Amino acid sequence: MVSDRLKKVAMCGLLLAVVCSGWEKAQAGDSATGQPQAQPASLHKKATSAHKTGNHLLIPLPADEVVGRQDVEYTCSLDDKKAGDDVRSLRTSLPVGRFTVTYLTADIMALAVLPVDGRVVVFANVVAADGAKYVAGHYSWWAKGDEVTFGREDKDGVSFACHVVPAVGASAVH
């Protein structure tokens, strides 16, 4: 089962969902002839909204590319008395309590996938002086050791800290 999933990842690329829709159909081929089926013309049309259960993001990679994945639990804190209105507003963008961030790596690519404003948002790694900085739109997620700063790229000083929830006998590495 795990071996089959790894084969799917190698053939489909980096998946940000468990399902690689279409791979199973293409691999199964025509049951009468055993030949792979042609890709439907609809795959070449402009992207449209999909049903929530079928949403996924596919990034094509070479078949021999190794994809790394690490799920890290975080909690965020904020001193409401010291924080300004912009920071308090930004704090509502992330879940209250514990939440999981998934780090995905392949060759020189690194992504962080986290819940922001009730949606799954993919952050891309960018050059930073230290730590691992990820950006999506006007948000940034900057990991330095076991502490992360979540902030607004378009507003100086609008950020707050999140911390790794320690797993028993493990530490986070991004």
- Sequence-ordered list of residues with C-beta below 8 angstroms from that of 62, at least 6 positions apart, any chain: none
Give the pair of three-digit tokens for residue 103.
Answer: 């780090």
DSSP string of 64-124, one letter each residue: T---EEEEEEEEE---TTTS-HHHHHHHTTSPSS-EEEEEEEETTEEEEEEEETTEEEEEE
Do both 81 and 152 map to the same domain?
yes
| Alpha carbons within 13 A on the beta-carbon side of 132 | 18
* Residue 171 forms part of a structural domain: no
Residue 54: which pLDDT band, with cuts at 50, 70 and 90?
Answer: low
Shared domain check, 159 and 86: yes
Q: Are 93 and 162 in contact (CB under 8 A)?
A: no
- As a whole number of angstroms, the distance between CA 132 and CA 127 comes to 8
Q: Is residue 173 part of a domain?
A: no
Indicate whether 31 belongs to any domain: yes
State which of 34, 59, 84 marks the end of a domain. Answer: 59
Tell whether the model's pLDDT for residue 105 goes beyond 60: yes
**pTM of whole model > 0.95?**
no
Give domain status of residue 49, yes or no.
yes
Is 170 part of any domain? no
User: Domain check: are 18 and 39 in the same one?
Assistant: yes
Give me the mean pLDDT over the 85-111 stretch. Answer: 94
Q: What is the pLDDT, as a whole number, of residue 174?
A: 54
What domain range includes position 11?
2-59
How many residues comprise the chain? 174
